[in-house]
Each structure stands twice: as C-alpha cells, then as structure tokens.
Amino acid sequence: MVNDLKTDYYYRRHGSSRLDVVQGTSNRSSAISLGRISQSSDVRKGANSSVGAVPLLPVPHSQKAQIQLRASSLSSEQLKMSDRRGSNISRLPFSDPTVKTVDSLYQRLQWQQLHDEEAKKEFALGKRIGFYRFKNEIGTGNFSKVKLAHHLLTKEKVAVKIIDKTKLDAKTRKMLNREIRTMDMLSHPSLIRLYEVAESVSGIFLFMEYAPGGELYAKLSEDGCYNEDQAKPIFAQIASAVSYMHDRFFIHRDIKAENVFFVDPYNVKLGDFGFATQVDKIDQHLNTFCGSPPYAAPELFEDDHYYGPSVDIWALGILLYFMVTGHMPFNGKTVPTIKHAILDGSFELPEYLSQECMDLISGILRRKPLLRLTLQQMQESSWLEGVQWPEEDSIYRPLPSTSYQFISELSETEQATRETLEHLGIVKDLLQSHVDRGSRSHVIGTFRIIQHRTILNAIGSQSSFGEAPPRTSQSDQTRGRTPLSQGSKGNSSESFPPRNLSRRRRNTLKASKHSKFCNLL
C-alpha cells in the first residue's frame, strides 16, 4: 500500500524496466567528500596576537550608533549563560604557546574540543560535533535521520540531517552534492536555509534552519483542511519560493506537504532539496524521474522526458487541492493504481470551494504541460488577488563581504552581525580567512546563524507556537461549516470533508455527491 502519500520513487526509464519504489519520508540522503574542520589553526587565528587574547567586550558605542538594527542577535541572558558555562575553562593554558589566556566564548569552545574530557566523551558518543550538541530525533529516512541540535556558541536551535556514509552509493553521493549546492546558491524567505556542513568518519551533517512548527502534512492530518482564507498566504509563500527557484534555473522535483515546514503559525518554508537540480535553460528536457507518486504529473508516467517547471507546477496544484479539501485528487492503494488514476485524468472539486479556487486548481491540473498555468498567472489569479507574494531575500548574505574599506560601507544587517561575532571572539581576520570554505566552515556557519537571527529580530518574525492561528473565517460560517479546530465528530452530511480524519481515511476518501466533476484538459 502507499504509505500515506509518503512513498517516494526514483527511477530512470532507460536502463531499467521496473519502477523502484522507495518507502520513506523526504529525507533522501547521500554523501560528499568534505574537508574536516581544523581546530587548532582556527584557535590561533581567533586570538589577537598583540595582546594574546580576544577580550570579551562589545564594540564601542560610537560604532553602535551607526547601526539602526539591534546590534546583537543574542540576548544578554544568552551571553551571560554562555559566559557562566564556559567559566570553568576561562584563562586556562592554550595550545598555542603565544596565547596565554582563553577569554572569548569562541576560544573557550575551541579549547573544549581539544582538552575538555566531557566534550571528548560527547564527541565519541556521537552526541556532539563541532559547535553543535545533538538533542532529540525529529525525523527519519532511508539513509539519514534528522535531529534537533543546539549551536553552543549562539544558543540557537538548528535542524541537523545526519547521513550514514556506510549506506551510500555513487548516485546518492551525487544527490547530496546537488542538495548542498542548491541550498548554498538560493536565498528566499520561503526556502529552508543551510548553515553548515560537517563530516565525521561515519557520517555527514547538514545543519539547517529549524522549523519548530513541523510539516504542513502533519497539520492537515491532525486538524483537517484549511479554509480558503487560511490556504491563500501559505500557498503564495510556497509558490513564490518555487518561482524564485525557476527564475534561477533550479527545479525542485519533490514538492509535497511533507516538505513544507512551519517556522511560525503563519509562515512556511519549502525544504528537502535532495531531488533538486539546476538546468542550463528552463525548457531543458529532463529524463530522471523522481518525487512522490500522488504528486507526479502525467508525463512522468508516459514520456521518456519532461520539462522541469511543468512537473513542479503540477505538484503545486496537487498541494493546493490537498490543502483546501483534505484529500488527494488522485487516489490509490498502490503506485500502479495511483498511476492509473492520474492517467485517467479525472478528479472532483467540492462545491463548497469558491469558483476562483476551482478555476485555479483546474488551470494548474491540466494534462498537457504547456497548457498549465504559469507561476506568473497563478500570482495574477483572482483567487490570490491582494495576497502578499514574498520576493527574493536581498538582505541575507550566505558569505560575509570581503571588498570593503570601512565598516560603514556594509549593510546595517551585516554590521550588526559582525558586531555580535566580535563580541563572541570571531574577529574580522578570522572571519575573512574562512570565506573560501563556505558552508564547510564552522565560522561561516556561525556567521549565517547570527545574520539570520539579526534579520528575524529586525522584522519581528518567529512568533511563538503557543497559540495556533484561527481555523475558521466568516466565509466558512456563511457556508455552514464549523471551525476545524473544534474537533467535532460530525459526519459527511454535516460538513465536507469530515474533520479530524485519520490518514488512511483521508487518503481513500471519495468526494461527496456535492462536487464538480473535472477532466484533465
């Protein structure tokens, strides 16, 4: 049986006559040859040779006055906590004989990695690597698992994808190469960010932005479908991220509710770039077939090639249908039955949907790729009229600036980020020396984490999950629907789709008699 829409498949029509079905979640994994982090050299670079140590002091107030953003992305409580935790190794002998004291938080962590027995034990037990201490597991896949981790220098929570190197082959190694490259090259407010990549003898670690709200799939499974007012901003964020990728010749190829994550109750991010690829031109033919069967476009089953943007657009249509109905337009218990339903080309639209929503879904789910609505047409549709469409993140920089003479030439965000780094002990020369290592550097990883937090502080994002967003609207009340969050046990005659469906029931649900029959064009 199809495992609740979470069966992934990956096959190439040429060279294999069968469809390899891979059971699992979105954490497809692979490996890459990455340079290991050097510790002692960074410790020496982090010290101020003229005085022997980097003082744990903020930058002068005159410099702060030039920065309108909050200078530090870390609270005073966080810094004090870090200072207290590191006090037991403060001013201890250092590995570099020219350095007599260990005065900054950065130097203390470096010293711990080399000399602290408790830290060495954590490394040996797989509870820590670099500046990260692992916490509980939050996801699993065929070759990887995802854990919550804490960045010990900034005290920020991150998600770490841990890939088992012993289970990898050449194909999955190539996939990871692409995944890291994709995340490194893209910067959009609705895409998960990559902070750092590290490697041990047995594993590869991708440290990424943590989305505490979990998957869109889980929310829909637990609470039922969204009403249209709730679905509009969520769908616009996802579609804008896909549009941004296509503008830069990247194809995602695995868009589904399991790969959409909530960073706060109202904002989502698209993640899992394991199947993403970059093309030379946007209309380039692709012949590697990948993704999740319920979201697969018809051409993936019947042609020997396809256009990347078209399959992403189709998947967006499936996702929108799922968001506003609570079930899939094409159902089946096995991959062959799902394939048959998609190629048969018929689905039903419940009449409680607005005409504008039905028109948008029907315009996306057209059988012929060239007849499907474009992302620009989606944005201009009457259903999304007045809905904010997030644009490229022009503030966030994956790497620090190198070509400047005065700090005043930098953006306010980067000035604030660098001030916080200086406070922690990562001075300008050390930061500049790590630029070429990119995401393979723990210094650049720290830069990215602090910069991201600085931006979020400035815009007031990352709101708490203590209170869920409202799950009803006036439009629902006028249609006689009750709030999904109330969890009433009504049957299909009271409302459609039924609330609080189990995953199995939702996936096999048949549309009610109050529906509009659609054929793929």
Concatenating the DSSP letter of every residue in 201-219 gives: SSEEEEEEE--TT-BHHHH
Q: What is the pLDDT of residue 102?
A: 60
Residue range 113-131: average pLDDT?
A: 89
CB 25 within 8 A of CB 258: yes
Average pLDDT of the chain, as a whole number = 76
Kindly report, as residue ranges, where domains of CATH 1.10.510.10 are found in the chain: 216-392+470-519
Angle of helix 76-85 relative to helix 105-115, nearest 10 degrees, comes to 30
| 463 or 513, greater pLDDT | 463
Closest CA to 248 of 309, 317, 315: 309
The pLDDT of residue 462 is above 80: no
Q: Which of 109-123, 316-330, 369-383, 417-431 has the lowest mean pLDDT?
A: 109-123
Measured distance CA(487)–CA(319) in Å, rounded: 23
Would you give the DSSP letter of residue 99?
-
386 or 74, greater pLDDT? 386
Catalytic positions, written as ranges: 254
Pairwise CA distance, residues 263 & 440, whole Å = 25
Taking phi over 0 as left and psi of -120 to 50 as alpha, with beta for the rest, 327 belongs to beta
Residues in Cβ contact with 448 at an 8 Å cutoff, skipping those fewer than 6 apart: 193, 194, 195, 196, 398
Quick check: pTM over 0.85? no
pLDDT band at 115 (very low <50, low <70, confident <90, very high): confident
What's the confidence (pLDDT) of residue 461? 54
User: Measuring CA to CA, how many Å separate 109 from each of 65, 97, 120, 301, 349?
Assistant: 30, 18, 12, 53, 57
User: In this structure, which long-range contacts are made by residues 478-484, counting pairs with CB atoms below 8 Å and at least 24 apart in sequence?
Assistant: 479/352, 481/227, 481/352, 484/223, 484/224, 484/225, 484/226, 484/227
Binding-site annotation: residue ranges: 161
Distance separating alpha carbons of residues 496 and 490, to the nearest angstrom: 9
Q: What is the DSSP string of 32-49?
A: ---PPPP-HHHHHHHS-T
Binding residues for ATP: 161
E-strand ranges in 103-239 read 128-129, 132-140, 144-151, 156-164, 194-199, 203-209
Q: Right CATH number for 216-392+470-519 from 3.90.105.10, 1.10.510.10, 1.20.120.10, 1.10.3720.10?
A: 1.10.510.10
Closest listed residue to residue 278, CA positions, set 305, 253, 313: 253
Angstrom distance (rounded) from CA 53 to CA 104 = 8
Tokens at 274, concatenated: 């394991």
Q: Where are the alpha helices (DSSP H) in 147-192?
A: 170-185
Average pLDDT over residues 311-322: 98
Q: Please give the residue that has the higher pLDDT: either 52 or 451.
A: 451
Question: How far, in Å, CA of 413 to CA of 396, rounded?
Answer: 8
